[in-house]
Structure 1
Amino acid sequence: MFPPILLALCALLCTACVLSEPADEPLPQLVIGGSPYAPYFYRDVHGDYAGIDVEIAIEACRRIGYEPVFRELSLDERFDALAAGEVDCLWCCLTMGGREDEFLWAGPYLHTKRVTVVRMGSGIDSLEDLAGKRVAVQAGSTSERVLVDGLEAEFSALAQFTVFPELGQVFAALRSGYVDAAAGMESALKQYLDDHPGEYRCLNMSFRSQAQGIAFRRGGDSTLVQKFHDVLADMTAGGTTADIIRTHGLNVEKNVYGGTSSADSRNAK
Structure 2
Amino acid sequence: MLKTPLKTLLDTLIHHFTKERLVTLILTADEKLLIFMLEHENANDYKKHFFKTIANSLVFNEKALLECLEKYLEIRKLDRSFTRFKNKIGLFSQEGFIKSSELVVLNFPFKDNVLLGNAKDNNTKSNELFYHEILHKNEIDALLHPKALCRFEMHGQGDLQSALKDENTNYLIKGNNLIALHSLKKKFAKKVKCIYIDPPYNTGNDSFNYNDNFNHSSWLVFMKNRLEAAREFLSDDGVIFVQCDDNEQAYLKVLMDEIFLRENFVASISWK
For Structure 1 versus Structure 2, the TM-score category normalised by the shorter chain is: under 0.3
Q: Choose between structure 1 and 2: higher strand proportion.
A: 1
Question: What is the TM-score normalised by the length of structure 1?
Answer: 0.23
**Structure exhibiting the larger radius of gyration computed from Cα positions:** 1
Question: What is the TM-score normalised by the length of structure 2?
Answer: 0.23
Q: Choose between structure 1 and 2: higher helix proportion.
A: 2
